[in-house]
Amino acid sequence: MERKTLYILIAAALLVVLLGALIVWRSATGSLEQIEGPKMATVGAQVNGQMMEGYPQAVPKWEGATVVSSDHVMRTDFDVYDLTLITTDSFDDVVNGYLNGLQKAGFNRIPHDIGTMMTSIEASSTEHAATFVFFTDDSGQTGITASIRTFR
């Protein structure tokens, strides 16, 4: 291998490492750029299947997703709503759609564990605190698990 080719390979490898470090740093600081996708999580979105009564209307859902499970637990100071949805929309579209939709609905957002198979977003507003976990596998489906606390 020529010395020039070796230097180019080393430079390319360093560039990949630096870009990876930048992505990790940006996700750790919550400085994640939003990418506009074809769809956004929206307040009042319709889902397929039975949801629990009382789901907070101010919290966005993924239009057309299917309900896998839903539960409502009443506590002394707050209510907890747990919802699991599944969709055939891509993982990236769903994550970006929730980042954009939560912001539009007035939530502060902190993304965590940015990756290719699982990501979570902590979101809060004056009335709600929520954790959204997104996951995917080789099936081509994206799962959405939301745990929402509504303060009284």
pLDDT recorded at residue 29: 39
**CB-based contact 99:34 (threshold 8 Å):** yes
Tell me the pTM: 0.73
pLDDT in tens, 1-57: 565 554 454 544 433 333 333 333 333 334 344 445 568 899 888 899 988 888 998
Question: pLDDT at position 34, please?
Answer: 44
Region at 144 (left for phi over 0; alpha for psi -120 to 50; beta for the rest): beta
Task: Tell me what the mean pLDDT of segment 88-106 comes to.
Answer: 92
Fold of 66-151: TATA-Binding Protein (3.30.310)
Give me the percent of the chain exceeding a pLDDT of 70: 75
Supply the pLDDT for residue 129. 94
DSSP 32: P
Positive or negative, the Cα torsion across 132, 141, 100, 40?
A: negative
In this prediction, residue 70 has a pLDDT band, given cuts at 50, 70 and 90, of: very high
pLDDT-derived band of residue 61, with 50, 70 and 90 as boundaries? very high
CA–CA dist 133, 143 (Å, integer)? 8
Query: How many whole angstroms separate alpha carbon 110 and alpha carbon 28?
Result: 9
Q: Is residue 123 predicted with pLDDT exceeding 90?
A: yes
The pLDDT value recorded for residue 24 is 35
